[in-house]
Amino acid sequence: MDLATFLVQCLNALQYGLLLFLVASGLTLIFGIMGVINLAHGSFYMIGAYLAYSLAPVFGGNFVATLLAGLVLAVIFGYLLEWLFVSYLYERDHLQQVLMTYGLILVFEELRSILVDNDVHGVPVPSWLDGSVQLGDLMQYPVYRLAISAICLAVAAVLYFVIARTRLGMMVRAGSSNREMVQSLGINIKVLYRVVFAAGVALAVLAGMIAAPVSSVYPGMGAQVLIICFVVVVIGGIGSVRGAFLAALLVGIVDTFGKVLFPQAAGIAVYLLMAAILLWKPEGLFKQG
Amino acid sequence: MNAIARRLSLPLVVVGFLLAFPLVTTGFYLEFTSKVMILAIFALSLELLVGATGLVSLGHAAFYGIAAYATVLLSPKIGAANLFWLLPAAIACSALYAIFVGALSLRTRGVYFIMVTLAFAQMAYYVFHDTRLGGGTDGIYLNFKPEVALFGARIADLGKPVVFYYFVLACLVLVFVFLALLLRSRFGRVLAGIKSNEQRMRAAGFATFPYKWTAFTMAGALAGLAGFLVAVKDGFVNPEMLSWHESGAVLLMLILGGMGRLSGAVLGAFAFALLQLFFQWDVVFGNFAKHWPLLLGGTIILCVAFMPNGLIGIPAQWRTWRARHSSEAARV
């Protein structure tokens, strides 16, 4: 592997890892704060990609407008979903959470097949990002992939700022370490849950929307992302956004280089990484609390 | 004595009914019932983990699928394998993977355990999905069904649906009885103790890890039995058998039937299969029948919301509801 190829693969790993972080951060927040294991989280990613596909014609291919509209829809959707389905699950055990969200996956997937169809669709890359950068003498790298990484990094920075520096972030951190205490201090935990859930949905939808032009849009894309995100959350430690960030990058690197170096065993590399981490630290790299 | 008789009566009636079933039907319904009984064995194996030990595994299909693949891969390309070595070999493959997964996943608990079992099942899925070994997405065919032969004499022909039906029924009864005895043994009591309070069991001097590990391995091996049976029945395996949809479906059977009771697992398998069949019925649902997962998903959501104790818990739920109702009426 020469230097240019190595560099390209590094950029790919970074982009994939950061995208995983967007999905996994929502998953880990929802679990850390509400104690709900949400299998339907991958479906939000899928919904995001299909939103990018079906909203693009509405806005005449204006990328930013599509993103904003999708995010608004995602927040409304997440808010309603928490209210209608997820709010029953806080007092239930994990098994019932698994089953309820499993049922939601079946419903989302089937609604998707009714509303759109079961074909693979491409989503055009926005024209102003449709160039490539010269790397070395022979390699080129698409600008859009760099833009994905930039968007993800910006979101990660905002997320860090909100959680570490704002009043909302303070409530989120307090809520994840002691739910009853937060309630007794007069914070409306129900509203907090709803906001966090909506934010988690919005993060996953955003990830799906910006990934759509690269990955194209296809049935079953949610399940694939969900399971990798579980690996990320397990490695990073449940409830830890910082852990999810590092674990997502780690998974991105292992997966990308695994595919390059050992194409036969590519699917397994990430799980072996998880097994190794579990042997070393059963509760993930950054255990909460 | 009366209590025992009452307890045994329902299973005996069910077994009697299943024994007589081939006398009145053939073809589709016989095959369907064989399939459902295999699912019941699969659900029973998970019940040992979820219902008896309190370990919610979302990767149980891995063991089911591995034994199914082992059955096909270990069979010779030409000629039939003998059941008496093929069955133990297939089960051993599942048990070995269960030993490996159990050693790692049981280091975690709660929601971690759910995610880790799911991830390891996915790993097994990719082994068969991506490598040449498993034939990719298309899966592979079993050319010859294994023969049941001792010392060169053929005893039974599993290729005949009726013979296979009785073979599956015998397996189901054996697994049920085995688990019923196991859960009443000291081992089973320890598992129940771990389920209700693992910390206390450790304080009482039990090293809980070996118990959980053994239960996990047994559950994997029994799921392997189900996988072997389904491979022989269909003569065909594909990676979807290991997918997490399958793992989710078997969990659903448990909760549909009712947790913590062996008969709940069997009931759940039947209820699930019938429900799926019903939703695919185009006489009732017309064109909408092809969207059956929507109805199934909706049913799951409603079940979780309104029937947390499963079908087997409905009488008790009804009794408490009525008792509360009448006491309120009395107060008024």
pLDDT score of B31 more than 60: yes
Confidence of residue B214 (pLDDT cuts 50, 70, 90): very high
Give the closest-approach CA distance of A96 to chain B in angstroms. 6
Q: B206 pLDDT exceeds 70?
A: yes
Query: Which residues in chain B have their CB less than 8 angstroms from residue A98's CB?
Result: 56, 58, 114, 248, 251
Alpha-carbon gap: A130 to the closest alpha carbon of chain B (Å): 33
Contacts of residue B115 in chain A, CB cutoff 8 Å? 37, 230-231, 233-234
Of the two residues A40 and B281, the one the predictor is more confident about is: A40
Q: Is A278 on the interface with B (CB under 8 A)?
A: yes
pLDDT score at A153:
94
Fold of A8-280: ABC transporter involved in vitamin B12 uptake, BtuC (1.10.3470)
> What does the pLDDT read at residue B331?
66
- Taking the domains of chain A in order of start, what are their residue ranges? 8-280
Per-residue model confidence (pLDDT) at position A8:
87
Domain boundaries, chain B: 10-255
Nearest beta carbon to residue A109 from set B58, B105, B293:
B293
Amino acid at the residue B199: Q
| Contact yes or no for A230 and B119 at CB 8 A | yes
pLDDT band at B332 (very low <50, low <70, confident <90, very high): low
pLDDT digits (tens, 9 = 90+) for A63-107: 888 899 999 999 999 999 998 888 878 878 888 888 889 899 999
* Topology (CATH level 3) of domain B10-255: ABC transporter involved in vitamin B12 uptake, BtuC (1.10.3470)
Report the candidate in B120, B118, B138, B141 with the shortest Cα–Cα distance to residue B130.
Answer: B138
CB contact under 8 A, A98 and B294: no
Burial A179-214 (b: 16+ CB within 10 A, else e): beebeeeebebeebbbbbbbbbbbbbbbbbbbbbbe
Answering whether pTM is above 0.80, one says: yes
Residue B63 has pLDDT above 80, yes or no: yes
Residue A222 confidence (pLDDT)? 87
Write out pLDDT tens, residues A28-65.
888 888 888 888 999 999 999 999 998 888 887 788 88
Q: Chain B residues with CB inside 8 Å of A268's CB?
A: 123, 126-127
Low-confidence winner among A127-141, B45-59, B76-90, B264-278 (lowest mean pLDDT): A127-141
Tell me: pLDDT of A121 over 90: no
Of chain B residues 262-301, which have a CB less than 8 A from chain A?
A: 291, 293-294, 296-301
* pLDDT score at B165: 92
Region B103-118 average pLDDT: 87
Give DSSP secondary structure letters for B221-263. Answer: HHHHHHHHHHHHHHSEE-GGGGSHHHHHHHHHHHHHH-TT-HH
Lowest mean pLDDT among A187-191, B55-59, B285-289: B285-289
- Strand, coil or helix: A281: coil
Mean pLDDT across chain B: 87
Give the tens place of pLDDT for each residue, A191-204: 888 999 999 999 99
Average pLDDT for B234-242: 89
Whether A94 sits inside 8 A of B118 (CB atoms) is no
Closest C-alpha to B118, from B62, B72, B187: B62
Mean pLDDT of B120-138: 82
Give the Å distances, CA to CA, from B230 to A222, A240, B58, B184: 28, 42, 20, 29
Confidence (pLDDT) at A288: 55
Q: Is the pLDDT of residue B29 over 50?
A: yes
B102, B32, B34: which is closest to B62 by C-alpha? B102
pLDDT at A207 over 90: yes
CB of A117 within 8 Å of a chain B CB? The answer is no
| A window 135-154, beta carbon within 8 A of B | none
pLDDT given for residue A289 in this prediction? 44
Nearest to B112 among A227, A238, A279 (CB): A238
Is some CB atom of chain A closer than 8 A to the CB atom of B304?
Answer: yes
Residues in A closer than 8 angstroms to B294, CB to CB, are 106-107, 110-111, 114
Nearest CA in chain B to A228: B119
Residue A287 has pLDDT above 80, yes or no: no
Q: B291, A99: Cβ pair inside 8 Å? A: no
For B170, other C-beta atoms within 10 Å of its C-beta total: 11
Q: What is the ipTM of this complex?
A: 0.81
Arithmetic mean of pLDDT, A94-123: 88
Better-predicted residue by pLDDT, A77 or A178: A77
Instruction: Read off the pLDDT of each residue in A137-166 and give the average, rounded to a whole number.
Output: 89
pLDDT above 50 (res B61): yes
Question: Across residues B37-42, what is the average pLDDT?
Answer: 96
Q: Is the pLDDT of residue B288 over 80?
A: no
3-state secondary structure of A249: helix
Residue in B115, B291, B300 closest to A102 by CB: B300
- Whether residue B1 has pLDDT greater than 70: no
